[in-house]
Amino acid sequence: MAITGVLRPGHVALRVLDLEQAVHHYTEILGLAEVMRDAQGRVFFKAWDEADHHSVVLRKADEAGMDYMGWRVDSDATLDRLAGELEASPLATETSWIAAGEHPHTGRRFRFTIPTGHVMELYAHRDVTGCATGYLNPEPWPDGLRGMAPSRFDHCLLYGDDLDGTVELFTKILGFNLAEQVVAGPDKLQIAAFLTCSNKAHDVAFIRQPMKNKFHHCSFLLGSWNEVLKAADIISKKKVSLDLGPTRHGITRGETIYFFDPSGNRNEVFSGGYIWYPDKPTITWTDDQLGPAIFYHDRKLNEAFLSVVT
């Protein structure tokens, strides 16, 4: 299918408490490449198979969490159109333009706050600095990989109160589709939404919670279940704070393990999942099956996984 409009997640910007500890974690444990530092003290990273200049941004702060998430769109015309629609919608607040170059090697960005309180950005241009294998007769993976070595930044899971408004914004304005959902009670209240702008099971997911603007995790793609198991070995070998896994999700069918960076931001590496197409019906889970929906092997909920956010 032709993917137009919003193409994919482009970047996630995280706050960390100790910058050098965080840099060590994201390079030596997770396995991203540090590409530069700027005059603001921010550090920029990318995964080995990402073409663009960067996908992860860290800055030192007094509180951990996510500053914003960015989305690549297909053209300046789309950027202007979506910015206009967002400015006209009551679902988007605190709208503003960020000048080209504020993120290095990146064009102008349109920033807005969604009903769950999270800050999002759209942009159309970022310099292509190339992936680690190149694009002419490439090998399947590069030499010199470190840590878990994901191929890309993949998605975020976010917590917030106004799930209805956020789903409406993403589907009605940004053109996302609802791949999976969790509903609760006799009224089938939607308590979780897994949204896609591509042919993945999800590019972003939201959980209905009473607080605004909470970050559950950012996720990075591995190539196989065996690589997830290797990530589990690295977590133990390097004494990284383990959250849960390795296991499988019922939702998305992904194979997964969760762990924390030194500031308490949750990371995930995962593999698998299904291919989504526009004619695929939305998969619905009911709250009485949340155990296998989230942790297919254990088939039971873990309170810390559900409640610990930054």
**Residues acting as catalytic residues:** 155, 202, 217, 249, 258, 268
> Could you count the other beta carbons within 10 Å of the beta carbon of residue 144?
8
Region at 82 (left for phi over 0; alpha for psi -120 to 50; beta for the rest): alpha
- Where would I find the beta strands (DSSP E) of the chain? 6-16, 33-37, 43-46, 56-60, 65-73, 93-98, 109-113, 119-123, 152-160, 177-184, 189-196, 204-208, 214-221, 242-248, 254-260, 266-272, 283-286
For residues 207 and 158, the answer to whether their CB atoms sit within 8 Å is yes
* Spatial CB neighbours of 48, under 8 Å, sequence gap ≥ 6: 31, 33, 131, 132, 133, 141, 142, 145, 149, 150, 151
Alpha-carbon distance of 278 to 5, in angstroms, equals 14
For residues 80 and 124, the answer to whether their CB atoms sit within 8 Å is no
* DSSP 8-state symbol, 290: H
Alpha-carbon distance of 254 to 296, in angstroms, equals 10
